[in-house]
Structure 1
Amino acid sequence: MIRFLPVVFLLFLFSSLKLVAQYCEITVTGLRNDNGEVRLYLFRNSDGFPEELEKSAIATTSKITNNKATVSLPASFGTYAITFMHDENLDGEMQYSWLGMPSEGFGFSNNPKVRMRAPNFEECSFVVRESGCSVTIDTKYY
């Protein structure tokens, strides 16, 4: 009986742990049409944010329905930032006008004002806590 005590203790310990996956639901609103897709990039830190998309922790796409896109991403506890683009022509790249302004929609978590520079990680960061998170990002067009 005594030699089974450690096994019983471990079973009790593991059965009391909550193994819940954290998810962050991201909703992109204000898309001007349902053409193309939304390309969304989740960053865990400032390294590469927001221009070096290959350094994002997660890159995904979403279909657009009724000028809105929703993505659910796995995200453990921590601080994150998101950038996205409305890839209307499905070429995988942001299109620019002859003035150098984006001609496709884009946005960032926390919806910071975009002026003469892209916002930094701190301006766009949000925290994923125990219950996951919900983030709504408004689309900007020039």
Structure 2
Amino acid sequence: MKAKILITLAIFASALAKAQEVKMNINITNIEPGKGTVVLNIYDKKEDFLKKVFLSKTLKANGSTLTFSLNLPKKGTYAVTVFQDLDDNKKLKQDWFGIPQEPVGYGNNFKPSAKPRFNDCAITLGSDPVTQVIKLF
């Protein structure tokens, strides 16, 4: 009997977690086809922005546009960064001043004149699916 109750609770908890998930599609444009991979990084906390990635996804740069489809665990505000890893070394290549040497893009198509901040690249997610288009530059 206990096993049935535990299984029922586990199924209910799983269904509840799925119900809270938020779908986000991020369409990346201006990719250099055939060169490396495209890396999408999601940050869920201001204090972790550009330091500790909440979720990272990678796709082969096999076309000039790509779409990342994500299921995030809850509503909220997430910052988004994208770069094309031309040399496939899993890191954004930067010069001595921290200026990116590979194509980059940010949530809301923010184009920084200095180091971007969380709010500059933030996307707020509610119950409805969100689609964002980010152009690499």
TM-score, normalised to structure 2's length?
0.77
- SS of equivalent residue, structure 1 residue 123: helix
In structure 2, C-alpha distance between the alignment counterparts of 1:98 and 1:77, rounded to whole Å: 37
Paired position in structure 1 for 2:81:
83
* Equivalent runs, 1:1-142 vs 2, <5 Å: 19=19, 21-49=21-49, 51-52=50-51, 55-75=52-72, 76-97=74-95, 101-115=99-113, 117-140=114-137
Distance in 2 (CA, whole Å) between partners of 1:109 and 1:61 is 16
CA contact (8 A) 2:24 2:69 kept: yes
Higher helix share: 2
Preserved contact between residue 83 and residue 102 of structure 2 (Cα < 8 Å): yes
- Deviating runs (4+, > 6 A) in structure 1? none
The SS at the match of 2:108 is: coil
- Per-residue CA distance 1:84-126 (angstroms, 9 max, x = gap): 11001111112235775322111110111221x1221111111
Cα gap change, 1:48 to 1:91, in 2 (>3 Å) = same
Aligned residues: 121
The 3-state SS of whatever aligns with 1:110 is: helix
Amino acid at match of 2:133: T
Structure 1, gaps ≥5 residues long = 1-13
Separation (CA, whole Å) in 1 of partners of 2:97 and 2:21: 45
As a proportion of its length, which structure holds more strand?
2
Whole-Å separation in 1 of the counterparts to 2:85 and 2:129: 27
Give the number of the structure whose alpha-carbon radius of gyration is greater.
1
Q: Distance in 1 between matches of 2:34 and 2:131?
A: 22
Tell me which moved more, 19-28 or 131-140.
19-28
